């Protein structure tokens, strides 16, 4: 993988633990703010019984907590997916939204909706995951056939592949009057997340845990096929595991709340810039940063035009592109 922040001296373990604890407290503060912000009265007095009709506890259990948990789970999994893809493709600009994975998952959801409208949500997610696997494997095959795999060429190929898939998806949605559904899958928005509509995101937490357990193998795989085989690593198996984790997590996130651009790309690169590329050390930080970034963008989107909301995908796209351009133009972030 391209060098990004290598040579960064690791901080002492106690210092890292203290810093991670402080960051965790910051995430808790953001989560509390996410729960309390909204049009409905969620004051402590209302929760303690001041609301005679009992609306506040119902609002808390049915809407606010599910929305916050969905943001946490989707954010952490998007960051982890980006980190895995950057290791497998050895390119820091690759993530599900720049490799055709997200677009393939959207196409899968559309096909499941068209061909089997009575399918349960988990069935549509499974179809979307299969399409996401196919899209990622197709991208991998294309990249493997490119003689010159420059730092910019690989994500450009992914963006072109995603554009082709997205054009096909849009055409099918237009011909079948499903453009509104397609917009919901391609624009990240958690305003419709309620109890009973986010629980599949717990799967993403489990997938992130699997990624952490196997983090050392992904780190070795990021050094290249030949190097990994010399160390006795089954390279094809670890690639298959990584693609499966990314496809399942991407499909689940998109089916629940849509696509959020730049999130994984941003947090994985910023954490890598500061801490290096050892996934065992960086993955918890990437997960925490992804969750915090998505929560912060959602809170901003809910406050800018209160009581109306701007979709978190729009806020994250603007904020992420600005920060990423700053990194690209900075001297510490080098291509290749």
Per the omega criterion (within 30 degrees of 0), is the bond before 307 cis?
Answer: yes
Alpha-carbon distance of 129 to 185, in angstroms, equals: 14
* Predicted confidence (pLDDT) per residue in 235-292, tens digit: 889 988 998 999 889 888 888 888 888 788 889 988 988 888 888 999 999 999 999 9
Alpha-carbon separation of residue 109 from 103, 181, 205 (angstroms): 10, 10, 21
* Confidence at residue 5, expressed as pLDDT on a 0 to 100 scale: 43
Angle between helices 279-303 and 65-89 (to 10 degrees): 140
* Predicted confidence (pLDDT) per residue in 161-187, tens digit: 999 999 999 999 999 998 888 887 778
Alpha-carbon distance of 168 to 257, in angstroms, equals: 21
Would you say 186 and 106 are in contact if contact means Cβ atoms under 8 Å apart? yes
Alpha-carbon distance of 267 to 265, in angstroms, equals: 6
Is pLDDT above 60 for 3? no
Helix (H) / strand (E) element for 32: namely helix 13-36
Domain annotation for the chain: domains and CATH numbers: 63-328 (1.10.3470.10)
Sequence-distant (≥ 6) Cβ neighbours of residue 140 within 8 angstroms: 88, 89, 239, 243
Is pLDDT above 60 for 155? yes
> What would the DSSP string read from start to end of 263-305?
HHHHHHHHHHHHH-S-HHHHHHHHHHHHHHHHHHHHHHHHHTT
Instruction: Provide mean pLDDT across the span 45-64.
Output: 75
Is pLDDT above 60 for 1? no
């Amino acid at each position: 993988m391209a060098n990004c922040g290598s040579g960064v001296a690791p901080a002492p373990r106690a210092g890292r633990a203290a810093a991670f604890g402080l960051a965790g407290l910051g995430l808790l503060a953001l989560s509390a703010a996410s729960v309390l912000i909204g049009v409905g009265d969620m004051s402590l007095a209302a929760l303690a019984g001041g609301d005679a009709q009992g609306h506040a506890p119902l609002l808390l259990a049915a809407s606010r907590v599910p929305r916050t948990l969905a943001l946490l789970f989707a954010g952490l999994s998007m960051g982890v997916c980006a980190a895995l893809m950057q290791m497998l493709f050895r390119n820091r600009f690759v993530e599900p939204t720049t490799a055709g994975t997200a677009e393939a998952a959207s196409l899968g959801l559309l096909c499941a909706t068209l061909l089997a409208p009575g399918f349960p949500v988990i069935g549509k997610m499974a179809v979307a995951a299969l399409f996401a696997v196919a899209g990622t494997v197709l991208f991998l095959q294309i990249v493997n056939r490119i003689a010159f795999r420059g730092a910019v060429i690989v994500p450009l190929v992914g963006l072109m592949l995603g554009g082709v898939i997205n054009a096909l998806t849009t055409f099918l949605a237009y011909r079948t009057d499903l453009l509104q559904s397609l917009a919901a899958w391609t624009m990240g928005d958690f305003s419709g997340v309620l109890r009973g509509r986010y629980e599949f995101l717990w799967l993403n937490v489990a997938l992130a845990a699997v990624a952490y357990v196997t983090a050392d193998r992904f780190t070795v795989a990021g050094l290249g096929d030949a190097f990994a085989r010399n160390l006795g690593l089954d390279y094809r198996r670890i690639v298959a595991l990584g693609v499966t984790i990314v496809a399942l997590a991407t499909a689940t996130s998109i089916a629940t709340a849509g696509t959020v651009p730049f999130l994984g790309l941003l947090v994985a690169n910023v954490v890598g810039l500061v801490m290096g590329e050892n996934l065992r050390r960086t993955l918890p930080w990437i997960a925490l940063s992804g969750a915090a970034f998505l929560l912060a963008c959602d809170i901003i989107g809910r406050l800018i035009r209160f009581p109306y909301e701007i979709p978190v995908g729009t806020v994250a796209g603007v904020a992420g592109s600005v920060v990423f351009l700053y990194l690209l133009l900075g001297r510490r972030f080098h291509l290749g």
